[in-house]
Structure 1
Amino acid sequence: MAWEDRTPFEAIEYQFGLKENDVRKIMRNELKPSSFKMWRKRVSGRKTKHLSLRVKGINIFKSKNQ
């Protein structure tokens, strides 16, 4: 979910109880250093990774399991 650009960190926290910093630590440990740097560059400041920065009115998909 963290790798996907449109999944906000808040959804990850809601579903798995992991805060953004926890997700970063997991990604740092699981990815190659170059992949982690590429991911951090891609998601830092990205409006879709934070609900508060998203444009209002975007419908967010929720799994039936939530």
Structure 2
Amino acid sequence: MKLPELEQATIDRVVEMAWEDRTPFEAIEIQFGLSEKDVIKIMRREMKESSFKMWRKRVTQRQTKHLKTRDFVAGRFKSDNQKT
């Protein structure tokens, strides 16, 4: 599947949200229409290989990156740039 054409500012925001521990992939999907697989592709493309590997390791160990595995409904922080 081909990624949609995105402006650099949008890509930067997606990368920023993906790095945030408490921003779930579902929030990125709602705001930008990108699935978790799309976000992973963007992160792989935009980051150095070592940074991508470090990010993937962090993400797979975080319960907060997926709404289904969270043990709370709302976090303590919500970015002003985040719609959900």
For the superposition of Structure 1 and Structure 2, which TM-score range results when normalised by the shorter chain?
0.7 to 0.9
Q: Give percent identity, aligned residues only.
A: 65
Query: How many pairs are equivalent?
Result: 65
The answer to whether 1:7 aligns with 2:28 is no
Once the two structures are superposed, residues 1-40 of structure 1 have per-residue CA deviations (whole angstroms, 9 ceiling, x without a partner) of 0011110000000000000000000000000000000000
Match of 1:59 in 2: 74
SS of the residue aligned with 2:18?
A: coil
Q: Moved runs in structure 1, 4+ residues, more than 2 A?
A: 60-66
The answer for unaligned runs of 5 or more in structure 2 is 1-16
The answer for unaligned runs of 5 or more in structure 1 is none
Coordinate RMSD, CA, aligned: 2.0
Deviation at 1:64, TM superposition (A): 8.4
